[in-house]
Amino acid sequence: MGIIAIEFTARWQSPVYVGDGPLLTKAISGPADALRHMKSLTHRSGPIYWRAVDLCQHALTNGVHPEISRPHFIAACADADARRSDNE
């Protein structure tokens, strides 16, 4: 059995800023940060969320370039915000 190398230092060219409401104060720098943040989302389900998780995990194992996971992470955050707004 081979060893799977995890690239925890994989970074995006520019961070994604997230937060509550209009205050986007937390910088997400790459797939590892994104995975940690997605665990804190209120809504953690659906194809958009799971695609982002999958691509971030693949970026950490060098399966895809880290930049590929970035727009999917943004979409997952937007989807979670939209679901939260629908439920308020």
CA–CA distance from 13 to each of 39, 42, 66, 67, 74 (Å)?
23, 27, 9, 7, 14
Q: What is the pLDDT of residues 53-69, one digit of tens each?
A: 999 999 999 889 999 99
Full residue range of the structural domain in which residue 20 is found: 16-87
Per-residue pLDDT at 87 exceeds 90: no
Kindly report the pTM of this predicted structure.
Answer: 0.89
Q: Which residues pair with 26 in a beta bridge?
A: 18
Q: What is the pLDDT of residues 2-45, one digit of tens each?
A: 788 888 889 999 999 998 777 888 999 999 999 999 999 988 99
Cα dihedral 88→51→29→68 (10° resolution): -140
Q: Looking at this protein, which amino acid is placed at residue 50?
A: W
Total number of domains constituting the chain: 1
- Torsion sign, CA atoms 13, 19, 22, 24: negative
